[in-house]
Amino acid sequence: MNVGGEHYRTVWMEGTAVYMINQNKLPFRFEILKSENHWETCMAITDMAVRGAGALGVAAGFAMAQAFLLSTGKNKLVLIREARQDIESTRPTARNLFYAVERVYMAGLNSPEQALAEALKIAEEDASSSQKIGETGAELIGKKANILTHCNAGWLAFTDYGTALSPVYTAKNQGKDVFVYVDETRPRSQGGRLTAWELENEMVPHVVIADNTAASLMAGKKVDMVIVGADRIAANGDTANKIGTLGLAVLAKEFGIPFYVAAPLSTFDISISSGKDIVIEERSGNEVMYQSGADINGNIVKIRVNNPGSKAYNPAFDVTPAKYITAIITEKGIIKPGSVSIKRVFENY
């Protein structure tokens, strides 16, 4: 995607360094973060400078490659195994992170160069699957459509294009009249901050809505379809995505609105039969108790927005049962959620 006329990927590697758009600074500042080794990349993942299933996978793959490229001495393999544990303990929910680490680790056992080649290949696959998801998903979008999306599953959440937003970008480029309602203004406002910034950058008409607004919009027939991303999809189609997704899916069913999940096959975890086995990350209550933003001088500040004496509970994701999902848009086409159809796709993968 282009920012200020220059093409950027969300995360990339040059030599042994990993570079990423620092998503904690957006939309207030566009800054690139450089990480010299796998510890710094792990820190960037934990701090959420890089986030979103695909981007997490690519960053984690790069971190694993850094460990292979930079570890020396006769304890090299021990250090690399420790690095793998460090990377895998950064964030628990997104499947792509574990998928990428496994692939790069296995390749790295042959040589550090192969680790790097595999990590770069994963980044390419991430971008190309996102692009294909855009082409396939755009076929579901009519000539004029109001689309609701939750959180950020745009190009910032992948290396390029994104998943939930990729069909929107393709549809707009095809001349369709698309309008987006942007959701997830709490707990972290990844919709209001990241998705809105992306859509403005791509000149897609949109409004940011408070999360509580979706029901009345749907009741008023203002939403034609919902498209969200996914962090992990179980073998039966149950889908973990940003907290609040489940509520939207239930509402969509009630109001007869198609509810689509857009995700690459690297987000599927067919080793688990249902969403019950998905580990849900619980994040610091500070996300709920504080809000960060920019003051009038553009400085990024944090303010307390809830009662100081109270504790907060902050699960970052919820699981939407497959029965609420109309279809899953993947790089291999549209899949009806359910064990049989998902299994069939993976048999030919």
The distance of closest approach from Cβ of residue 44 to ligand MRU in the complex, given in angstroms and rounded to an integer, is 13
Asked if 232 is part of the footprint of ligand MRU (rule: CB under 6 A), the reply reads no
The verdict on whether 231 is a catalytic residue reads: yes
Residue 119 near residue 152, CB atoms below 8 Å = no
- d(C-alpha 246, C-alpha 240), whole Å: 9
**110-123 b/e (C-beta count within 10 Å ≥ 16 → b):** eebebbbbbbbebb
Residue 335 DSSP SS3: strand
Asked if 151 is part of the footprint of ligand MRU (rule: CB under 6 A), the reply reads yes
Binding string, residues 7-36; x marks residues near ligand MRU by CB under 6 A: ------------------------------
Q: Return the CA Rg of the chain.
A: 20
Q: Which one of the spans 45-53, 135-143, 248-256, 336-344 is the region binding ligand MRU (CB under 6 A)?
A: 45-53
Q: Pick from 10, 24, 131, 152 the residue near ligand MRU by CB under 6 A.
A: 152
Number of chain positions touching ligand MRU (CB under 6 A): 17
Both tokens of 192, joined, read: 């209001």
* 245: nearest Cα among 148, 341, 155: 148
Q: Between residues 122 and 151, which has the closer beta carbon with respect to ligand MRU?
A: 151
Asked if 316 is part of the footprint of ligand MRU (rule: CB under 6 A), the reply reads yes
The distance of closest approach from Cβ of residue 111 to ligand MRU in the complex, given in angstroms and rounded to an integer, is 31
Asked if 166 is part of the footprint of ligand MRU (rule: CB under 6 A), the reply reads no
The distance of closest approach from Cβ of residue 24 to ligand MRU in the complex, given in angstroms and rounded to an integer, is 10
The distance of closest approach from Cβ of residue 170 to ligand MRU in the complex, given in angstroms and rounded to an integer, is 17
Q: Which one of the spans 6-14, 51-59, 133-141, 290-298 is the region binding ligand MRU (CB under 6 A)?
A: 51-59
- d(C-alpha 169, C-alpha 128), whole Å: 15
Asked if 236 is part of the footprint of ligand MRU (rule: CB under 6 A), the reply reads no
Both tokens of 65, joined, read: 């490659």
Asked if 227 is part of the footprint of ligand MRU (rule: CB under 6 A), the reply reads no
Dihedral class, residue 66 (left if φ above 0, else alpha if ψ from -120 to 50, else beta): alpha
Asked if 51 is part of the footprint of ligand MRU (rule: CB under 6 A), the reply reads yes
Residue 266 near residue 126, CB atoms below 8 Å = yes
Residue 21 DSSP SS3: strand
Asked if 261 is part of the footprint of ligand MRU (rule: CB under 6 A), the reply reads no
- E-strand ranges in 184-337 read 206-208, 225-228, 232-234, 239-242, 259-262, 268-269, 290-294, 300-304, 317-320, 327-330, 333-335
Query: 């003051």: which residue's tokens?
Result: 295
Asked if 52 is part of the footprint of ligand MRU (rule: CB under 6 A), the reply reads yes
Q: Which of 231, 238, 269, 318 is catalytic?
A: 231
- d(C-alpha 216, C-alpha 222), whole Å: 9
Q: DSSP secondary-structure letter at 200?
A: H
Asked if 127 is part of the footprint of ligand MRU (rule: CB under 6 A), the reply reads no
Contacts to ligand MRU from residues 190-209, by CB under 6 A: 190
* 325: nearest Cα among 342, 312, 301: 342
Q: Which one of the spans 1-9, 101-109, 146-154, 304-312 is the region binding ligand MRU (CB under 6 A)?
A: 146-154
Active site residues: 231
| Residue ranges that bind ligand MRU, judged by CB under 6 A | 51-53, 151-153, 157, 163, 188, 190, 228-231, 241-242, 316
